Structure 1
Amino acid sequence: MKPYVLIVEDEDALSTLLEYNFTKEGYETAIAEDGEEALLMAEERTPDLILLDWMLPKLSGVEVCRRLRRNKKTTSTPVIMLTARSDETDKITGLDYGADDYLVKPFSMPELFARTRSLLRRAKPALLQDIIVQGDIEVDMQAFRVKRGEKTIHLGPTEFRLLEHFIKNPGRVFSREQLLDTVWGRDVYVEARTVDVHIGRLRKALGAPKLPDPIRTVRSAGYAFEPKA
């Protein structure tokens, strides 16, 4: 099950960026553009974590946080407050109103993901899988280790990202363009045939005598990851 993150942010560019990056990392996301909408969405479906902007239309982030903590459904939901306010008194206020963590804009995505994982490990450890197993292939996301059966597989960074994306979405067919967008990123120009090259390297690394190829080529569509037990 994917962790469900509610993004409460009224700045379109930032909410889109957060949604894209969290989805890319395997989270399920939803966006609320103001404080009242955030409370309604959290009431309808309890998030596993909330990213909460301080300055919001209708209700401020600290007021949203206060109301979340008074609601039995969300009283223990982890909240990371995102704000341009950097004063220590503002940070204390946010934490006093119930935020679990506080990040000042602009922030780095790796730091945000690290704090997200830290909170989720404490609140819902079963949601974060450091080790994912599909068939006879095992991927340790934290140690960047891959095993097939008893054999340790050595992968380059791009092949590891490809495998990570595949193993989180077994059976799903991805076009070359989708893989480029997810693994290489939207802002990097790479030719589509580059995907084929790295898929070939990944297949070679995972390959072994008498073992089936876990990556299926779907003609005119792309690739799918279908490991066998």
Structure 2
Amino acid sequence: MNQKSTVLIVDDQEAMRDALEGMLTNQGYELVIATNGQEAIDLAKQLLPDLILLDVMMPDMDGFETCQHLRADPVLAKVPIIMVTALNDQDSRLRGIEVGADDFISKPYSKLELRAKVRMITKINRYQRLLNEQLKFKWMFENTDEAYLALNNDKQITYANSKARLYLNLPPTDATINESFMKLVNKHYHQVHEPSKNPEPIDEKLTKLPRYIIRPDTKTALPIWLRVDVMEISGESEEKSLVHLCDVTETILAKRHNWTLGGQISHKLRTPLLPILSGIEFLIKNHSKLTTDKLEELLEMAYAGGTRLRALIDKILSYTDLSNMDKDTQGSCTVTNLLSTITTVKEMLPIESLLIFQQGHIENPDNLFIPISCTGIEIVLTELFSNAKNFHPTGTPTIEVDIETKPNNLCLKIRDDGIQLSPEQLANIWTPYYQGEKYFTGEAKGMGLGMSMVGSLVWEVGGTCQAYNRTEGKGVVIELNFPLKTWD
């Protein structure tokens, strides 16, 4: 709203208009002039003033009739009206009250009295308008399916609507909230992630950048993804930030589902098709020369490939159920399973040169696990190894995988020897739908959803992702950190 109150002065006499305008100039008002009743009504509809100073004695439509028209309009009915009159008799004031005037001032009027009345009425009216606006906004916020919070300078929550209280596990009332927004987020969610940067631990600083917070899955519920938008508020208000929490779970999981399904079709179907097609081709060309034993061997090989193909197709079809796909990526993967999954993905793609390094001796790898299923790890590694192969100048990368276990953390570093990325590409590699990167001169290659979906799988289990260029040679390093747990 405009910080100045608008005062509409209505008088047919120029001298009276000038006198009123002179008394109110430089008093903090926006002054608007009307010379007759109809002009006053038109301007009032257009401007919705904070106060109307209305002269009674005007030709054609006098002040009483003008006041009646204003009060008949549902929008203008609550605009305060001070009637300016030379009439002091009781009947005129009673008539003014009947048509809806709020106050009177008599000619010749006192400058001090006029200013005092205008100041008092405009303040009351402005306060009432602000209160009405606040009530309307509060009603809207309480009845929307979106979550909104207001934070003060210390990031304490001064207001949270019902949806926000639900997301932050707060009582569904106006009870005082004693914990800061960031503390509540840390209690119930993994992290705040700025998609244009590498994920960092949540701190007390809010910026205007959107970010995501992720509540991990439970035995009875899938993960919840919330996008956090922050608007900083200037001025003297107690509220310094308005926070919007938008549930983007369905979008994230649906995009991941489509990406995973495409990956399954693209990579997994090739392996079982090879023995089937190769065996049948050999039979067609050499069937008359083959012994019975050789024929049986080739048919068994083709049958085994067909059986495996059928199993893969059944699994891929099960991914059409989004909930099944997400359940399949949740669970646990031991260090032993991780090592075997790396080998599986290497053979499936295939990758000709892959080296695995374990930092230090890992005791009892079957007892150590990360909170993501073997299927989830396979999906992640398939994307990373495929990128290393597809974006390598010759398509034959040497991939190095470093596995380092710490007391509560497993660090997985995947290095290739292909191209390096620009600072912009590295900054946006985890951003959903980032497009337009040029990995090779003259050839545009979009990251699409792949890397952002890798990030989504890692973030959901409380992990972090980083991407940076190798310092000792060409290529990129993808660093994934997972929480490390034991079965004990």
Q: Which residue of 2 aligns with 1:88?
A: 90
Return the alpha-carbon distance in structure 1 between the equivalents of residues 81 and 100 of structure 2: 8
| Structure 1 residues 74-115: Cα deviation after superposition (integer angstroms, max 9, x where no partner) | 110000000011101111111111000011111111101111
1:46 corresponds to which of 45, 48, 59: 48
Q: Structure 1, residues 1-46: CA drift from partner, whole Å, max 9, x if none?
A: 1110000011111101211221221211111111111111111111
Q: Secondary structure at the match of 2:23?
A: helix
Contact kept, 8 Å, 1:82 with 1:102, in 2: the verdict is: yes
Partner of 1:226: none
Residues 18, 72 of structure 1: CA spacing in aligned structure 2 closer, same or farther, 3 A cutoff?
same
Q: Note the residue ranges of structure 2 that are not aligned, 5 or more in a row.
A: 130-488
Judged with a 3 Å threshold, the aligned counterparts in structure 2 of structure 1 residues 77 and 126 are, in CA distance, closer, same or farther, namely closer
Matched to 1:36, the amino acid is Q
* CA distance in 1 between partners of 2:46 and 2:94 (Å): 29
Aligned with 1:82: secondary structure? strand
**Whole-Å Cα distance in 1 between the matches of residues 49 and 34 of structure 2?**
12
How far apart are the structure 2 equivalents of 1:44 and 1:38? 10
- Cα 1:21–1:126 change in 2 (3 A) is farther
Output aligned runs, 1:158-169, within 5 Å: none
| Partner of residue 68, structure 1 | 70
How many Å separate the matches in 2 of 1:49 and 1:27?
10
1:95-146 C-alpha deviation (Å, 9 max, x unpaired): 111000011111111101111122123221389xxxxxxxxxxxxxxxxxxx
Match of 1:78 in 2: 80
* Corresponding position of 1:143: none
Q: Which has the higher contact order (CA 8 A, sep 6+)?
A: 1
Matched to 1:50, the amino acid is: I
Matched residue, 1:15: 17
> Which one has a bigger Cα radius of gyration?
2
Amino acid at match of 1:24: N
Q: In the aligned structure 1, how far is the partner of 2:8 from the partner of 2:73?
A: 16
Using the TM superposition, name which of 110-119 and 2-11 deviates more.
Answer: 110-119
User: What amino acid is the match of 1:15?
Assistant: R
Q: In structure 2, what is the equivalent of residue 130 of structure 1? A: none
Q: What amino acid sits opposite 2:113 in the alignment?
A: E
Partner of 1:2: 4
Aligned to 2:124: 122
Matched residue of 1:24: which SS? coil
Q: 3-state SS of the aligned residue for 1:55?
A: coil
CA distance in 1: counterparts of 2:70 and 2:28, whole angstroms: 25
SS of residue in 2 equivalent to 1:96 = helix
Query: Alignment partner of 2:109: what SS?
Result: coil
For 1:63 and 1:15, the matched residues in 2 are separated by 20
CA distance in 2, matches of 1:126, 1:91: 25
Matches within 5 A, 1:172-183: none
Is this contact kept in 2: 1:36–1:58, CA < 8 A?
no
Which residue is equivalent to 1:24?
Answer: 26
Letter in 2 for 1:37: E
Query: What TM-score do you get using the length of structure 2 for normalisation?
Result: 0.25
Residues 22, 28 of structure 1: 8 Å contact kept:
no
Alignment partners' CA distance in 1, 2:60 and 2:87? 19
| 1:101 corresponds to which of 100, 103, 127 | 103
State whether residues 47 and 77 of structure 1, in contact with CA within 8 Å, keep that contact through their aligned partners in structure 2.
yes
Equivalent residues of 2:8, 2:31 under 8 A apart:
yes
Matches of 1:76 and 1:11 in 2, distance apart? 26
Instruction: Measure, in 1, the Cα distance between the counterparts of 2:77 and 2:54.
Output: 15
Q: CA deviation at 1:66?
A: 0.8
Task: Give me the whole-angstrom Cα distance separating, in 1, the residues matched to 2:5 and 2:121.
Answer: 12
Amino acid at match of 2:73: N
Which residue type is aligned with residue 121 of structure 2?
L
Structure 2: distance between partners of 1:83 and 1:21: 17
- Secondary structure of 2:64's counterpart equals helix
C-alpha separation in 2, matches of 1:26 and 1:118: 13
Number of matched pairs: 128
Note the alpha carbon deviations across 1:145-201, whole angstroms, 9 max, x for none.
xxxxxxxxxxxxxxxxxxxxxxxxxxxxxxxxxxxxxxxxxxxxxxxxxxxxxxxxx
**RMSD over equivalenced CA pairs, Å:** 1.8
Q: Is the 8 A contact 2:5 2:126 kept in 1?
A: no
Measure, in 1, the Cα distance between the counterparts of 2:12 and 2:93: 20
Distance (Å, rounded) in 1 between the aligned partners of 2:103 and 2:112: 15
Q: How many percent identity over aligned positions?
A: 40
Gaps of 5+ in 1: 128-229
In structure 1, the residue matched to 2:58 is 56
Give SS of 2:8's match: strand
2:160 maps to none
Decide whether the 8 Å contact of 1:95 with 1:102 is kept in 2.
no
The 5 A counterparts of 1:133-172 are: none
